[in-house]
Chain A
């Protein structure tokens, strides 16, 4: 999903980046969907549903709400698909922005809140090392997430979008409604703060 720097530049120029071999040609799907091709919209859904669901799930913390919001996101996307054009838009970021706005409409506080239940951490069961290493790895992850949750609302959202969801700077900027430079600064401060918060042994 992350488009990469060269593709970002092309998007800024209003041109769809050339699809890599094997990659989904998202803009072709968008145009077909705009023209009325229902299956094309289904394929867009296939391409983006996991990403949207993950974003929402980590924001709201429970599956039922996440599923409702994810559905609603794609319903709205379908309704607004005509207004989608090349000019500087990334389709994934557009969808996450819709999802984000729905969450904001439903959550009383406007603060970004990373919601992670420890039951969701599957890596502890998949450790290839000895049992002790698994425990250590698991604890370290919990510590890390706990520190992330201590960050300010914007720093948290920036960190999660960039590193948990793997979005690019410009995608993150679009979702958060900020400029690229602001995101870089936010990220820098957030990472520095995290590095300071983490206990010695885990660095």
Chain B
């Protein structure tokens, strides 16, 4: 009997549906009853807690004042730990609004550790939440710091003497900002690694989506502060932005890796979690994105199109503080032509770049580009170059493939 394609397909579906009830699969009644009893007993001893505030919830919770949000998490932590001592609870509540440098800040961080210990499988999300709190703390430090704090993106010219005096007074705040940012980076990396690992292990893109959304918000928030942080913290901010950009790239790459027919395509692990690799499978070509060496990350408009050598997978390690040699990833530095071309900038200055180890030019499968972060001196009278920060000048040196300035 001739049937059309459509009729055949409908027949297949009908056939499958008719088959379903006849396929055994009912649980054994004894097993079913025993398990039910056990579960109800477990449910009876469970202590209901407030749901963990996920990073996504934070996106929707803009209206809530920060202290209230902190208290909700605090309350969850307290309930879970069955702390009933009123005095301790009061102390913890007061500490919840403490910022870096305050007497009770240590109590606040200690309470966070308790919550982390209780987070169980939600540890990754909890860490991201803590990293967000670190950013909030930096924002508070910056917005309420001494009025004359010389800002990285400030007016630039003008009396250096007055600025020097204020720099001394504000030195402590600068150190706090740097420390808090470093803690933020550590929490970001650990939280991200947990989520990416879960995504790959369970072949579920859900954690990656959470991570992508959080990274976007966090990057935005941090970028907003960039001009207002103290001079000495500018490098740390740049590093943090780099880490977030790396993370964003990694999440996109892993998202593709998950679609690989033969199972998630990963090779090795670094501090952000599994490293995506090229998918090797039957015809489906899902190469890790960014394998095309000239693809720039999301935050660098106008970056160079020159082919750059790519680092080996697993060799990345964003370093904290100071000049950042060899950090793969894309700096969130708008408008600066990278790598600095000698002698070609307006104002006649040479853009110094940190030394970059020269790498073989074979392109290896890796999603990262070793674009260095650029520390640029603020030269008086310099026009035409939008520079991000003023930093004490080291010996200028740029070694990048064919371009070599200084001691290479």
Size bin of chain A's contact surface: 35 or more
Listed stretches A4-12, A16-24, A117-125; interface member: A117-125
A71 to B27, CA, bound (A): 11
- Please give me the residue from chain A that is nearest to B282 by CB atom: A152
B13 sits at the interface (CB 8 A): yes
- Please give me the residue from chain B that is nearest to A144 by CB atom: B15
CB distance A82 to B48 under 8 Å? yes
CB distance B120 to A79 under 8 Å? yes
Q: A42-B36, A75-B39, A203-B11 are in contact. Are A110 and B16 (CB under 8 A)?
A: no
Chain B residues, CB < 8 A from A97: 204
CB distance B36 to A101 under 8 Å? no
Chain A residues, CB < 8 A from B206: 177
A70 sits at the interface (CB 8 A): yes
Chain B residues, CB < 8 A from A109: 263
- A43-63 contacts to B (CB < 8 Å): 45-46, 49-50, 53-54, 57-58, 63
CB distance B28 to A67 under 8 Å? yes
CB distance A177 to B11 under 8 Å? no
B69 sits at the interface (CB 8 A): no
CB distance from B50 to the nearest CB of A (A): 7
CB distance A104 to B26 under 8 Å? no
A186 sits at the interface (CB 8 A): no
Listed stretches B1-9, B308-316, B394-402; interface member: B1-9
B382 sits at the interface (CB 8 A): no
A153 to B262, CA, bound (A): 10
B385 sits at the interface (CB 8 A): no
CB distance from A57 to the nearest CB of B (A): 5
A95 sits at the interface (CB 8 A): no
CB distance from B27 to the nearest CB of A (A): 4
Among B20, B43, B121, B264, contact of A164 (Cβ-Cβ < 8 Å): B20
Chain B residues, CB < 8 A from A58: 23, 25
- Number of B positions contacting A (CB below 8 A): 51
Which one of B5, B20, B47, B49 has the greatest number of beta carbons of chain A within 10 Å? B20
B17 sits at the interface (CB 8 A): yes
A37 to B44, CA, bound (A): 7
- Please give me the residue from chain B that is nearest to A154 by CB atom: B261
B112 sits at the interface (CB 8 A): no
Contact with B along A105-119 (1 / 0, CB 8 A): 100011100001001
CB distance B13 to A191 under 8 Å? yes
A15 sits at the interface (CB 8 A): no
Chain B residues, CB < 8 A from A66: 27
B122 sits at the interface (CB 8 A): yes
A110 to B204, CA, bound (A): 12
Contact with A along B24-48 (1 / 0, CB 8 A): 1111100110011011111110111
B205 sits at the interface (CB 8 A): yes
CB distance B201 to A53 under 8 Å? no
Chain B residues, CB < 8 A from A83: 51-52, 54, 122
CB distance from B129 to the nearest CB of A (A): 14
CB distance from B280 to the nearest CB of A (A): 15
Among B23, B46, B121, contact of A120 (Cβ-Cβ < 8 Å): B23
B202 sits at the interface (CB 8 A): yes
Which one of A42, A152, A192 has the greatest number of beta carbons of chain B within 10 Å? A42
CB distance B48 to A105 under 8 Å? no
CB distance from B186 to the nearest CB of A (A): 25
CB distance A41 to B48 under 8 Å? no
B393 sits at the interface (CB 8 A): no
Chain B residues, CB < 8 A from A192: 5, 9
Known: A37-B43, A141-B19, A195-B12. 8 other contacts (CB 8 A): A34-B48, A38-B40, A104-B201, A110-B203, A119-B24, A163-B13, A177-B205, A192-B5
Jot down 30 A-B pairs with beta carbons below 8 A, ordered by A: A38-B43, A41-B40, A46-B36, A49-B27, A53-B27, A54-B23, A67-B27, A67-B28, A74-B39, A75-B39, A78-B42, A78-B43, A79-B120, A80-B121, A82-B50, A82-B51, A83-B51, A83-B52, A97-B204, A104-B202, A110-B264, A121-B23, A122-B22, A164-B19, A165-B20, A177-B203, A177-B205, A195-B11, A203-B8, A203-B11
Residues of A within 8 A of B (CB): 33-39, 41-42, 45-46, 49-50, 53-54, 57-58, 63, 66-67, 70-71, 74-75, 78-80, 82-83, 85, 97, 101, 104-105, 109-111, 116, 119-123, 126, 140-141, 144-145, 148, 152-153, 159, 163-166, 177, 191-192, 194-195, 198, 203
